[in-house]
Structure 1
Amino acid sequence: MTPSTAPAAAPWATATTPPTSTASCLRSKETMEMKHTTIALGIVSALALAPAAEASLSGCTFQQQGTRQTQVYFANGINTRYADAQIASDTLRSQYKRRLESQQENSSYQFFPAYNLSQGFTTDVIQVFQQKLHEDPDGSIAYMVYDMLQAGLSNDAIRQTVAIAVTDGYLLAATLTDELLDQLADTMAQIAADALKDLVQVNDLHSGLYADALLNGKRVLIVAHSQGNLFTNTSVARVIEMLPDHSNSIGYFGVASPAARTVNGAGYVTADDDRVIQLLRATETVLPANIDNDPGLFDDPRDFLNHGFLESYLDSRLKSRERIDDGIAKLADTLAYPSLIAGEGAIRATLTWGEQPDVDLHVFEPGGAHVYYRRPMGSDGTLDVDDTNGFGPENYYVACDAVSPGTYDIGVNYFRGSATETASVTLYLGNGTTFGPRQLSLTDDQGSSGDDGPKPAFSLTVSDDGQGNALYSVE
């Protein structure tokens, strides 16, 4: 590959971006002053003549409490709003954070949603069956229904086939009303396409979150509910493939699992009267129920389906709560703290993607340095993790005492691949804030010709607060 000349500014800078920032003006002014000084002091030694570097800002004002860090993620099920996933994550924080940190000296636990975007009940259900088909290509009866719809079979023929092919099939066939089958037939192609697209994006997003935390020396503990178990199985398996030396630093506990298996020895709890899982079991291979979760007629907090995460499993009156407590405690005790691979500081940008071979992270620094795979060392930061075999991650960071005023433009180039790819970029700042992951759709690979024109992800402007500390503005 032929190295390219680094441009003075990121190639995606728009006309609304001032061509010269205040920081660059100051830099030019300082340069002229130094030249004048050099002329006036022509007999001074070469060491004294060397121009002094512009003073860096103090870029880190946030200090993580505890040196041993664990990221706890809640992976939600179908038909869940982000606000509800956040409530579940916040509930886990309120129930477990203090307890876990008190049991482990010098530790901290952070709680986040690993959100599975809902596109509506019907699309989400089809997505589940797509995931089950991936688990067992020959065992998904539900997908057989979709195949028959696409083949143009009548509703009666579909019901008759299902009734014969499945144990308790007559019960299932009765749920396949004309209204439901007609709706599925009319919208099947688009729904299936939307569901598959979302499935790929969520898998990429979750695996990126987990790999990023591990690279940064943090353990990953996931609590998965319902469909979240299917996403978690895929993401955890992918992360272990990406970072095999970190396989003992990531783990999860499944709740109301529709999966056929667990990954990496994960535990789970599913009630024997969970109606959602019971219905799915009529057509799919599902892990067996492993608890009688009925508290009795007069003290039952569960929803009608006995399936909801908070009311039907996490409630302290239920036996399942003890199982969840034990599962989380076991992971907290046994997961290893990973070694720090990726640097962090005032600025940290990470990139992950899907199965295509190579997507590259690019950063244009305020002084004009272009940091990427051919030039991993910049004036301020370093590309310290690079990947060329799919998934990522890649990592760029600027140390706390090395950040400069001006603009850092962060983007990606689809270097090599044969299909549309999704890149996820996350930006972490030294004041404790996080932006992203931002997902970028990449259509055609560009090779080295795309190095000078990467697709923009973030534009980060750093300024001085007047006391030598960095102020951040992100677009």
Structure 2
Amino acid sequence: MVTPVKSKFAKKLVAMLVSGTMTLSSVAPVAAQTQTPSLCTSGGILFGFFNGVLNTEDLAKDSLLKFEKKYGSTSPQGAPIRYEVFYNETEGFSDFVEVFEQRLNEHGGAIAGRFELFFSALQGGGPWWETIIEAAPALGDILDSFVAWLASIIPATLTKMMGSPSLLTTQAEHRTRLDNGSLEGRKMLLVAHSQGNLFLNSALQYASTRIPSTSIQGIHIAPASSVGNRPHVLADKDVVINALRLVGSVPGITDNIPPILERTPGLNGLKDAKGHGLLEIYLHPGHQTASKIHGHIMGAFSKLQAAPSQATSGFFTATMTWNGPGIVDLHVMEPSGTHVYFENARGQSGRMAFINRTGNTQDQYIANCDTTQLAEGKYSFSLANYGGAQGSSASVQIASNAEGVLGTRTVTMGPATLTTPSIKVLDVTVAKDPRTGRMTARIGNQI
């Protein structure tokens, strides 16, 4: 009968000694390989954006795209930039939608069920609302009352999030991404708006334990929390943050913005009565806040110093972490049918690596950057409870070298199965675009 090894890292150590693939340091590559032509880049800058309150993931990506269009693919100093959204969901988001639905249904008629009006209502209006109110002025009461309700409830929502289980879970996901960036030797420029600052503070503290502080810069926009001595931008008429002053400590005002009636549409064509929106207010080309943010970002680029690279980069990387006792293992089935895990750490298209930091381990599958070795097809990822991990929560995060995080899934482990995987988590499909010849990696079959 096989007896599970009790130590999380010792079990991996024994297996790798036996197989001859022992790696030293936190993660060390296998014997040097010629990776030409390479699909990967290492080093450079990770530009991370932490979104604000009541953002969907698509809205957060749209905000990041505005930064990417402005600052391009390389910094003024010539360093390549990779842009990533560090997404965080607002607790009780569905409650906001339900309240809006109730307001619409109370008036019935043509606007009942018009959920496409929700996101513009969050900012206090927009072209659709202007058309509706022009045709039926009485319907303006719906918008006004909803905006007033938002301004009163958002501060309490942000306060409630501090220390909540969902905040801690999101922070753990962000840390996995920071780990990947630090291992690849990327400098980090992290920018947050509104609610995102709750996560940025934790991310900056964590990143400083992974790479030198000279390789990290943080910028706070409309911060919902303290910012230390880091640069921040806060508008004088930001109703949301001003309300937070009644229940906590927020930084001082840095810039003035126009009164409500004098505001013009922002980068997304919308206005914001709350004075809080990133695209409507803070990045508005006509506001002082936009030039202040630009100055802080340019200053951060100039201050960032190179970070040491601790590992070779992968075309895509799967990182598994777990939060409880026992041992959880990551298993990969490559397109060739090769089963890669701790006892067979080298596959035909990638390899396993095991990160040991202060007694905690992560399993990583690192796909080859060499175009001659990376196979097209499906890579299936699953988990096994090697022993003692029943009830533990385990997460697998897939990130590509070119695009950052592609997907994350968290599961609860069942009974022990030793080296037999029992929970399928994610599939990654690698394919070559026949027109461009570019290799892509997508979750599932989304090619």
TM-score normalised by L of structure 1? 0.60
Change (3 A) 1:421 1:196: farther
Q: Among residues 222, 239, 251, which one is paired with 1:275 in the alignment?
A: 239
Change (3 A) 1:276 1:406: closer
Percent of aligned positions with the same letter in both sequences? 22
Matched, 1:260 2:226: yes
CA-atom RMSD in angstroms:
4.3
Instruction: Spell out the pairing of 1:362-381 with structure 2 (5 A cutoff).
Output: 362-366=331-335, 369-381=338-350
Change (3 A) 1:353 1:256: farther
Taking the aligned partners of 1:220 and 1:254, their CA distance within structure 2 comes to 14
Query: Which whole-Å deviations, capped at 9, do the CAs of 1:91-111 have from their partners, x for residues lacking one?
Result: 11222227x63x223x22233
Q: Give, as a single letter, the amino acid of the residue that structure 1 aligns with 2:250.
A: L
Change (3 A) 1:474 1:223: closer
Q: Among residues 278, 293, 312, which one is paired with 1:343 in the alignment?
A: 312
Instruction: Spell out the pairing of 1:62-461 with structure 2 (5 A cutoff).
Output: 62=39, 68-97=43-72, 101=75, 103-105=76-78, 107-121=79-93, 196-241=164-209, 243=210, 245-262=211-228, 266-283=230-247, 285-295=248-258, 300-301=263-264, 303-345=272-314, 347-353=315-321, 355-356=323-324, 359-366=328-335, 369-387=338-356, 389-390=359-360, 392=362, 394-400=364-370, 401-404=372-375, 407-413=378-384, 420-428=392-400, 436-444=406-414, 446=416, 449-460=417-428
Verify the 8 A CA contact 2:51 2:194 in the aligned structure 1.
yes
Verify the 8 A CA contact 1:418 1:445 in the aligned structure 2.
yes
SS at match of 1:331: helix
Range 329-338 or range 403-412, more displaced = 403-412
Change (3 A) 1:108 1:433: closer
SS at match of 1:288: coil
- Gap runs ≥5 in structure 2: 6-34, 97-147, 265-270
State the 1:82 CA deviation.
2.5
Verify the 8 A CA contact 1:410 1:456 in the aligned structure 2.
yes
SS at match of 1:325: helix
Taking the aligned partners of 2:192 and 2:440, their CA distance within structure 1 comes to 37
Q: How many equivalent pairs are there? A: 345
Verify the 8 A CA contact 1:70 1:108 in the aligned structure 2.
yes
SS at match of 2:181: helix
Query: Which whole-Å deviations, capped at 9, do the CAs of 1:234-273 have from their partners, x for residues lacking one?
Result: 23333444x2x354433321111111344xx532222343
Verify the 8 A CA contact 1:352 1:393 in the aligned structure 2.
yes
Instruction: Spell out the pairing of 1:49-64 with structure 2 (5 A cutoff).
Output: 62=39
Change (3 A) 1:391 1:253: farther
Q: Which has the larger radius of gyration?
A: 1
- Gap runs ≥5 in structure 1: 5-57, 125-174
Change (3 A) 1:3 1:202: closer
Change (3 A) 1:391 1:279: farther
Taking the aligned partners of 2:260 and 2:177, their CA distance within structure 1 comes to 42
Query: Which whole-Å deviations, capped at 9, do the CAs of 1:358-414 have from their partners, x for residues lacking one?
Result: 644322345554433344333442223434744847342324132346653323345
Taking the aligned partners of 1:373 and 1:282, their CA distance within structure 2 comes to 53
Taking the aligned partners of 2:249 and 2:415, their CA distance within structure 1 comes to 39
Query: Which whole-Å deviations, capped at 9, do the CAs of 1:148-182 have from their partners, x for residues lacking one?
Result: xxxxxxxxxxxxxxxxxxxxxxxxxxx99xxx9xx
Taking the aligned partners of 2:174 and 2:344, their CA distance within structure 1 comes to 29
Change (3 A) 1:295 1:231: same
Taking the aligned partners of 1:272 and 1:455, their CA distance within structure 2 comes to 51
Verify the 8 A CA contact 1:407 1:461 in the aligned structure 2.
yes
Verify the 8 A CA contact 1:360 1:414 in the aligned structure 2.
yes
State the 1:307 CA deviation.
1.2
Runs of 4+ in 1 over 6 A off after TM superposition: 58-61, 462-466, 468-473
Taking the aligned partners of 1:198 and 1:114, their CA distance within structure 2 comes to 14
Taking the aligned partners of 2:433 and 2:407, their CA distance within structure 1 comes to 27
Verify the 8 A CA contact 1:220 1:250 in the aligned structure 2.
yes
State the 1:426 CA deviation.
0.5
Q: Give, as a single letter, the amino acid of the residue that structure 2 aligns with 1:402.
A: Q
Query: Which whole-Å deviations, capped at 9, do the CAs of 1:91-143 have from their partners, x for residues lacking one?
Result: 11222227x63x223x222333222224545869xxxxxxxxxxxxxxxxxxx
Change (3 A) 1:441 1:464: closer
SS at match of 1:394: strand
Query: Which whole-Å deviations, capped at 9, do the CAs of 1:268-293 have from their partners, x for residues lacking one?
Result: 2223432111211211x223223142
Change (3 A) 1:337 1:411: farther
Change (3 A) 1:361 1:387: farther
Taking the aligned partners of 1:473 and 1:293, their CA distance within structure 2 comes to 44
State the 1:226 CA deviation.
0.7
SS at match of 2:45: strand
Q: Give, as a single letter, the amino acid of the residue that structure 1 aligns with 2:249.
A: V
SS at match of 1:204: helix
Verify the 8 A CA contact 2:320 2:364 in the aligned structure 1.
yes
Q: Give, as a single letter, the amino acid of the residue that structure 1 aligns with 2:373.
A: A
TM-score normalised by L of structure 2? 0.63
Verify the 8 A CA contact 1:221 1:250 in the aligned structure 2.
yes
SS at match of 1:203: helix
